[in-house]
Amino acid sequence: MIVVIDFGSQYNQLIARRVRECRVYCQIEPPDVDIEAIKALNPDGIILSGGPSSIYEKNSPKTDPAIFDLGIPILGICYGMQFMVDALGGSVKKSIKREYGFAELTIHKPENLFDTIDKSATCWMSHGDSISKLPKEFTITASTDNTEIAAIENRKKQFYGLQFHPEVEHTPKGKQMLRNFLFSVCGCEPNWTMKTFAKESIEQIRDKVDDKKVILGLSGGVDSSVTAMLIHKAIGKQLTCIFVDNGLLRLNEAAKLKIVLKQHLNINIRFVNASGLFLEALSGVVDPEKKRKIIGKIFMDVFDAEAKKIQGADYLAQGTLYPDIIESQSAFGGPTSVIKSHHNVGGLPKKMKLKLIEPLKYLFKDEVRELGKTLGMPEELIWRQPFPGPGLGIRIIGEITRKRLSVLRKVDDILIEEIKAAGYYKKVWQSFAVLLPIKSVGVMGDKRTYENIIAIRAVTSKDAMTADWARLPHELLAKISNRIINEVNGVNRVAYDISSKPPSTIEWE
C-alpha cells in the first residue's frame, strides 16, 4: 500500500484516486501523523502531496523527516517536493514569476519515473516557489523553459520530486509516471480489488465486534445500505438496523424500501413510523435552519429510544465516506467541512455513548457502489440518487403541511419516472422538485387558475461540493412539465433551476 501525506492540495483526493485506479490501496494521512503509525501501515512507498503554502512560511505544514529514514521510495509532488528538498539540505526560493498552467517538459532520460515516456511531454504547473539548490546526491531529470528543476531524483535512495502535478488530466503522461512509481520503483502489485476489500473488512469487523451488538441507522440510501450489507455479512444477526419514517419521504418510499430491504438484505430491521411526531413539530415552521434542527433533534430522540430497546449494543455503525474524512482532517479544511457538518447526524454516537464503526471510511462514492455490487446488492439499492436526511422537508419552501407534502410527492414521482425513462437518472447527480410558497395565475380549460409553482432541479456533480445544472433536453423538460401540470392538482407552472453550486447550493434550503 501507499501512504499519501496531505499537505492541503486541492488535488489530494485525485492522487488517492489515481493510485487506486492502478489497483493499489492507498490511504491519505495528515502531516502530523505519527511515524510509528506510518510504520504500522507498512507502506511500499510514500507520496508527499502538493499544498498551497510556501515552505518558508511560519506555519507551513511539515511531516516528520524520519520518513526519509524508512528505506522506502518517496515521491514529492510540488510542495511535497519542496518539503523533501528543504528537509534533505537543499533550498527553495520564491520564483520571480508564479507559474500556473500548461508547460512543455523536457525529459533528460526516459528512465524510472519517466520510463516509456517521450523526451517531451505536456505537464500542469501551479507553483510560486522553485528549487534553487538540490540536496546532495540528487540530479535533475526534467526541465521546462521556466523551471530548470522541474523533476529530480536520488536514485540510490529512490526519492523523486516533480514540480508539476502528475495526478491531473492536464498532465497526459502523469498516470504513466504514477504507474512507474508504483510498479517499477515501489514494486507494488496491482491486486487491490473490491473483493479483497470486502473480505478484509468483513474479517476486521468480526474481530472488532466479537460477540457484541451493532446498531445502524438505515436510510435506504447507498451508503447506509452497503454498510448494513457488509456488517451483516460479518456478524449476521448481531446487527440491528433502525429505519425511521419521518413523514418526509417520497411517494410510497417507506413501503417500497421495506420490501426491497427485507427481500434483498435479509437483515434485522426495525421500522419506526414517527411521521406524526415530525409533522406536528414542524407545523408552522418556515425557517430552513429551524426545520433542519427540529428534524435532526427528533430523529436523534426517536433513534435513541428505539436503540435502547436493543439490549447490550456496544457499537453504532455509520456509512461515512472518505471525502468526509479527508475534509475534516485536511490541513486546510475549508468552509466546506463546516457546511457539511449539519448534514450528518454527528451527535448520535456522543449522545448514545456508543463506539463507532465506519467500514466505508476509506472509500469514494463510486467505490461504495462497486462494493455493493461485489456484495451482490440489487441495482435499485446501489443506484439511488442521494436523498437528504431532512427529506422533502427542505424541498417544501415555507410551511410543511400534509397537503403540500402530497402535492410534492406526486410531482416528484412523475419527475423521477420521466428522468429514469429518458436514461438520465444515473447520468445526473440528483434530480428533484421543489414546491414554492408562491402562486401564479394560469388558464386551464378556459378557466382562470391560481395555483402553486414547482421548480425542477437537476445537477451534475462528482461529490456534491460543486455542481452544475444539468443540460436536460428541452423535450424531456417539456414532457415533465406537461405531465406535472396535467396530472397534479394544485400546480399550474413549472420552472427549471439554472444555477450552479457555488454560488447556489444543490438543495434550496
Q: Which stretch binds ligand XMP (CB under 6 A): 72-80, 102-110, 111-119, 382-390?
A: 382-390
Beta carbon of residue 430, minimum distance to ligand XMP (angstroms, whole number): 6
Handedness of CA 468, 164, 102, 25 (dihedral sign): negative
Kindly write out the interface string for residues 253-292 of this chain, putting x where it contacts ligand XMP by CB under 6 A and - elsewhere. ---------------------------------------x
Residues 110-149 that bind ligand XMP (CB under 6 A): none
Q: Choose, by CB under 6 A, the member of 115, 358, 497, 507 that binds ligand XMP.
A: 507
| Cβ contact 223:386 at 8 Å | no
Q: Which helix (H) or strand (E) covers residue 311, if one does?
A: none
Kindly write out the interface string for residues 404-433 of this chain, putting x where it contacts ligand XMP by CB under 6 A and - elsewhere. --------------------------x---
C-alpha cell recorded at residue 29: 494521512
Q: Is 341 in the site for ligand XMP (CB under 6 A)?
A: no
Beta carbon of residue 509, minimum distance to ligand XMP (angstroms, whole number): 8
> Which single residue is written with the C-alpha cell 451527535?
347
Beta carbon of residue 219, minimum distance to ligand XMP (angstroms, whole number): 8
Kindly write out the interface string for residues 18-47 of this chain, putting x where it contacts ligand XMP by CB under 6 A and - elsewhere. ------------------------------
> Which single residue is written with the C-alpha cell 474481530?
207
167 has catalytic annotation: yes
Nearest alpha carbon to residue 25 among 49, 48, 58, 1: 1
Annotated active-site residue in 26, 165, 186, 451: 165
Q: Identify which of residues 157 and 343 has a Cβ nearer to ligand XMP in the complex.
A: 343
Q: Is 390 in the site for ligand XMP (CB under 6 A)?
A: yes
Q: Is 506 in the site for ligand XMP (CB under 6 A)?
A: yes
Q: Identify which of residues 154 and 318 has a Cβ nearer to ligand XMP in the complex.
A: 318
| Cβ contact 274:244 at 8 Å | yes
* # of chain residues touching ligand XMP (CB under 6 A): 13
Distance CA 74, CA 84 (A): 9
Q: Identify which of residues 143 and 224 has a Cβ nearer to ligand XMP in the complex.
A: 224
Annotated active-site residue in 29, 99, 153, 167: 167
Give the length of the chain: 509
Annotated active-site residue in 22, 26, 78, 241: 78
Q: Identify which of residues 128 and 386 has a Cβ nearer to ligand XMP in the complex.
A: 386
Q: Identify which of residues 256 and 340 has a Cβ nearer to ligand XMP in the complex.
A: 340
Q: Identify which of residues 51 and 217 has a Cβ nearer to ligand XMP in the complex.
A: 217
Q: Is 377 in the site for ligand XMP (CB under 6 A)?
A: no
Residues 447-476 that bind ligand XMP (CB under 6 A): 464
Q: Which stretch binds ligand XMP (CB under 6 A): 77-85, 109-117, 137-145, 386-394?
A: 386-394
380 has catalytic annotation: no
78 has catalytic annotation: yes
C-alpha cell recorded at residue 99: 507559474
Distance CA 447, CA 213 (A): 62
> Which single residue is written with the C-alpha cell 422538485?
433
Please give the C-alpha separations between residue 304 and each of 172, 347, 353, 385, in angstroms, as whole numbers: 51, 11, 11, 27
Nearest alpha carbon to residue 54 among 100, 16, 95, 89: 95
Q: Identify which of residues 349 and 386 has a Cβ nearer to ligand XMP in the complex.
A: 386
| Cβ contact 50:78 at 8 Å | yes
Q: Is 386 in the site for ligand XMP (CB under 6 A)?
A: yes
Beta carbon of residue 327, minimum distance to ligand XMP (angstroms, whole number): 13
Q: Is 389 in the site for ligand XMP (CB under 6 A)?
A: yes
Beta carbon of residue 508, minimum distance to ligand XMP (angstroms, whole number): 8
Residues in contact with 308: Cβ distance below 8 Å, sequence separation at least 6, in sequence order: none
**What value, to the nearest 5°, has the Cα angle with vertex 228 and ends 224 and 234?**
150
Q: Identify which of residues 449 and 466 has a Cβ nearer to ligand XMP in the complex.
A: 466
> Which single residue is written with the C-alpha cell 449522545?
351
Q: Is 162 helix (H, G, I), strand (E, B) or coil?
A: strand
The torsion angles phi and psi of 389, rounded to 5 degrees, stand at: -50, -50
Q: Which stretch binds ligand XMP (CB under 6 A): 66-74, 274-282, 388-396, 447-455?
A: 388-396
DSSP characters for 177-242? HHHIIIIIIS---S---HHHHHHHHHHHHHHHHTT-EEEEE--SSHHHHHHHHHHHHHHGGGEEEE
Q: Which helix (H) or strand (E) covers residue 349, if one does?
A: helix 348-352
| Cβ contact 85:135 at 8 Å | yes
Q: Is 87 helix (H, G, I), strand (E, B) or coil?
A: helix
Q: Identify which of residues 95 and 466 has a Cβ nearer to ligand XMP in the complex.
A: 466
Amino acid type, 479 = K
Residues serving a catalytic function are 78, 165, 167
Interface residue list for ligand XMP (CB under 6 A): 292, 339, 343, 386, 388-390, 430, 464, 501, 505-507
